[in-house]
Chains A and B, each alone.
Chain A
Amino acid sequence: MNRLEQLKSSGKKAFVAYVMAGDGGLDRLKEQVQYLQSAGVTAIEIGIPFSDPVADGPTIEAAGNRALNQGVTLQKVLEELQSWTFDIKIPLLVMTYLNPVLRFGVERFTTECKKAGISGVIIPDLPYEHKQLVHPYLDKENIKLIQLVTLTTTDIRLDEILREAEGFVYAVTIKGITGSRDELSHDVKTFMQKIRKKSPVPVYAGFGISKSSHVDMLRDDVDGFIVGSAIVEAFNAGKIEEIEPLIRAVTTA
């Protein structure tokens, strides 16, 4: 069974942590993943740095640039993951823009993800309309292609996307790019309720989630939360333990 399905059947609220692979050096990724796993996160998204990350805000872009300056590539990240021998119990996902995947070769990407134990892939600039470019390959290896839905997704497209959704649905909580926000808008709650009613797979809220107050606001309307910029920032500042209350706020209520 794909680990994402196991996570779903556990019924727990999910906490998906995003890390930028190679921010601070690729050799740090292992300890970061180990740390997050022991801190109780339920899945980890491994971000692949890209030169032109248009869906990301300044925090993740800066982390990506730091990683690129260290010479981090998609290939190196996958090799690093494949070299790990410690026990990973939670699903690992890869979040990458499309171009590095095309350059690497979609089929090869899929095979290498499989070898690395990846359960799902998120490609923010691959909309539903073009998913045939990648999906048949991932499907072959039972790796889920996670689709995003946003406040601007029209109802017709929402239905189409949800009909074929797999793994989980990544519901974007803001109109904008990634990055921490003080407050979430109030349409978000109704939006989450609408998606959850229609979705055959769990609905996780992401983009801008950085505080317990965000979690409290949406807790009853989603199956989990995805936290990116806040974690990237905390790792970069060497203060990752400050993120623990947020993890607890999600996973232990």
Chain B
Amino acid sequence: MTKVKICGLKEEQHVQAASRADAIGFVFAPSKRQVTIEQAAELAKHVPIDAEKIGVFVNATLKEIEETVAGVPLTMVQLHGDESDELVRAIRVPVIQAFSIRTKEDVVKLKQSLADYVLVDAPGTDYRGGSGNVFDWSLLEGADIDPARLIVAGGLNPGNVHAAIEQTTPYMVDVSSGVETDNRKDTVKIQEFIKSVKGDFVEETMEKVGFFGKYGGQFVPETLMKAVKELEDAYNEVKEDPEFHKEYHHYLSEYVGREQPLTYAQRMTEAYGGPKIYLKREDLNHTGAHKVNNAIGQALLAMRMGKRKIVAETGAGQHGVATATICALFDLDCVIFMGEEDIKRQQLNVFRMKLLGARVESVTKGSATLKDAVNEALRYWVANVEDTHYLIGSALGPHPFPTMVRDFQSVIGEETKRQILAKEGRLPDAILACIGGGSNAIGMFYPFIQDKEVELIGVEAAGQGVDTAKHAATLTKGTDGVLHGALMKLLQDDAGQVQEAHSISAGLDYPGIGPEHAHLADTGRVEYRSITDDEALAAVISMSRLEGIIPALESAHAIAEAEKQAKQMTADQILVICVSGRGDKDMATYAEKLEGLA
């Protein structure tokens, strides 16, 4: 997708209005938009972590440029004067060289530039650095300029930028006067411009590779970069391949038993006394939870990549069981890392994995739970990267994992949408899902994100309470940080050490949350709440007795919150709960915690 640069910003409010832009330009050359290094440095603090900060210069010296790059700091330099090739070469950050286009000869000059990117602009009039005139786009036609290095500027505005992109398919579009009113930047016009290039924020989320807002990325050791990039390429390929989708859906229906019902929960509806309640029955999947949707998708992809060894982490053991199951089905080698603490809590699942032929490695380090299992799985992947695929179990990790896992889990939301339209003729008013790393929730929410009338609610584990030291409420209590390959929200101390999470439910016991959820929380599209251990246990009892469905402890968090949510809703409304898994694996915990239940 074409990137957007908003240029000539001088005020913080305008930088914030441009938060969805891919690049921000600061003008250091004489102009009404000129800023000092100090001013730009202040403004730069409000630019998202991954956006380019570009300085615009006209015939400045290398020293001036270097000082400015370091002082702001800038990530790119844009040259608008008669700068020499030597200067272009000497600048250490990527360089954009601008050319005013009047004739075909100008186009030839542009093609010879040594800069990383070339910017085409209408000829300046009163000062260098763009005049706001529109130039004749057709001059570029047949000029054979690599669109990957082309930036188009000059007279663009929210109204004409689409046409410019269609005609020139540039790497980036650059706007300055087109988003101004009376010579001053205009917040509304900036947002309109970005929207007319990118669509609304959902589409941007899909397009911006590896990032969701400022979250995501590929923060992994160098040894893994090749594997991560290969995976990214392979995934991009299968995403568009109808054969792959056919195969994936074949296994979902013939092996997992999809599609799963959207069950009307009549007695819960009556008991809660509010909206009509529907349950999305991921508990009915073969292996007992939503995790298998993702395991099949990734295993098929691994085989396409020629990898027949799988490593995975597991918390509750549901992902481990799903992975071990699929590895048995496809005859793949399978190693599962699981925290010692979780092994104790989920002994049945450990035995299931072994029965299925997987090797289960106990992780005794750290808190001996999911976070540490991910660490060990990553280390194992580092050491065996050439023939092994890391089949991550939630919407976590370096890009492309969060996107890929979301896509493989989106079958949950897609089915739900179809089913509710068939049953009720309309979309639900609220949807709830529990959140560990965030995979069942993002799979459920994603197909509804653009349907603004549907309230989306993610439910984290509050453990013994969010104000105690024992919880896993990452979005309620966490801060920005990098763990397991992505910038996300983390439970961490002031020194940046990741803290242990606590939840009665092993599957929610993770101190981070997937990057897409972190972004959805920032934008406010999804609301995140939390439920304590005790509330979740109470919900296990009530759902079991009202509907004859014993939920997994993880899912019980969503159910508990649904009861609260239902109280604020009315009988003509509809509420959907994602029942991410069944309670078989938790029976030992239930027996212990609910002992004496009458």
Contact = CB atoms under 8 A, between A and B. Distances in A.
Interface of A: 50-55, 57, 61, 65, 68, 73-75, 97-104, 124-130, 132-133, 136-137, 139-140, 147-154, 157, 164, 172, 175-177
Contacts of B484: 52, 54
Given A61-B365, A175-B383, A125 B220 contact: yes
Contacts of A157: 225-226
Given A127-B219, A172-B222, A140 B70 contact: yes
Nearest to A147: B222
Given A130-B219, A176-B223, A140 B494 contact: no
13 contacts: A50-B497, A52-B483, A54-B221, A99-B481, A104-B495, A127-B221, A132-B75, A140-B71, A152-B222, A152-B227, A153-B225, A175-B383, A176-B223
Interface string B67-89: 00111111100000000000000
Nearest to B224: A152
B220 A136 contact: no
B498 interface: yes
A127 B482 contact: no
Contacts of B499: 51
Given A130-B217, A136-B73, A148-B222, A100 B378 contact: no
B305 interface: no
Nearest to A61: B365
Contacts of B224: 152
Using C-beta atoms within 8 Å of the partner chain, give the interface range for chain B.
Answer: 35 or more
Given A73-B495, A102-B496, A177-B382, A152 B70 contact: no
B221 A55 contact: yes
With most chain B CB atoms within 10 A of its CB, the pick from A54, A124, A148 is A54
Nearest to B480: A102
Given A127-B225, A140-B71, A152-B227, A175 B386 contact: yes
B379 interface: yes
Contacts of A101: 496
B366 interface: yes
Nearest to B41: A107
B375 interface: yes
B161 interface: no
B222 A153 contact: yes
Interface of B: 49, 69-75, 92-93, 217-227, 229, 365-366, 371, 375, 378-379, 382-386, 479-485, 490, 492, 494-499
Given A136-B75, A148-B222, A54 B375 contact: yes
Contacts of A147: 222
Given A52-B375, A124-B222, A140-B70, A176 B382 contact: yes
A61 B379 CA distance: 12
Nearest to A96: B496
A152 B386 contact: yes
A124 B481 contact: no
A195 to B, nearest CB: 12
A136 B495 contact: no
Nearest to B222: A148
B73 A99 contact: no
Given A51-B498, A152-B385, 18 more contacts: A52-B498, A54-B378, A55-B223, A73-B495, A99-B496, A103-B479, A103-B496, A125-B219, A125-B482, A126-B219, A139-B70, A139-B92, A140-B71, A149-B222, A152-B227, A152-B386, A157-B225, A177-B383
Contacts of A53: 375
B388 to A, nearest CB: 11
B73, B375, B485 interface centre (most CB from chain A within 10 Å)? B73
Contacts of A148: 221-222
Nearest to B67: A140
B379 A54 contact: yes
Contacts of A139: 70, 73, 92
Contacts of B383: 175-177
A2 to B, nearest CB: 15
Given A68-B497, A136-B75, A152-B227, A103 B492 contact: yes
B504 to A, nearest CB: 23
Contact of A140 (B73, B386, B490, B497): B73
B218 A154 contact: no
Contacts of A51: 366, 497-499
A101 B379 CA distance: 22
Contacts of B70: 136, 139-140
Nearest to A136: B73
A49 B461 CA distance: 28
B209 to A, nearest CB: 11
Contacts of A150: 221-223
Given A50-B497, A99-B482, A136-B70, A127 B223 contact: no
Contact of A102 (B218, B382, B482, B494): B482
B501 to A, nearest CB: 12
Contacts of A99: 481-483, 490, 492, 496, 498
Contact of A153 (B75, B226, B482, B495): B226
A97 B497 CA distance: 10
A154 B385 CA distance: 13
B496 A137 contact: no
Contacts of B495: 73-75, 100, 103-104
Contact of B225 (A52, A54, A98, A152): A152
Contacts of B221: 54-55, 124-125, 127, 148, 150
A61 B72 CA distance: 36
Residue from B217, B365, B483, B495 with most neighbouring chain A CB atoms (10 Å): B495
A38 B483 CA distance: 38
Contact of B222 (A100, A127, A132): A127
Contacts of B498: 51-52, 99
A90 B535 CA distance: 59
A99 B383 CA distance: 23
Contacts of A68: 497
Contacts of A65: 365
A173 to B, nearest CB: 11
Contacts of A98: 219, 482
Contacts of B497: 50-51, 68, 73, 100
B481 A103 contact: yes
A152 B499 CA distance: 32
B379 A177 contact: yes
A201 B217 CA distance: 28
Nearest to B495: A73
B219 A154 contact: no
B421 to A, nearest CB: 42
Contacts of B92: 139, 164
A154 B226 contact: yes
Contact of A104 (B49, B482, B496): B496
Contacts of B75: 132, 136
| Residue with the greatest number of chain A CB neighbours at <10 A, chosen from B92, B479, B482 | B482
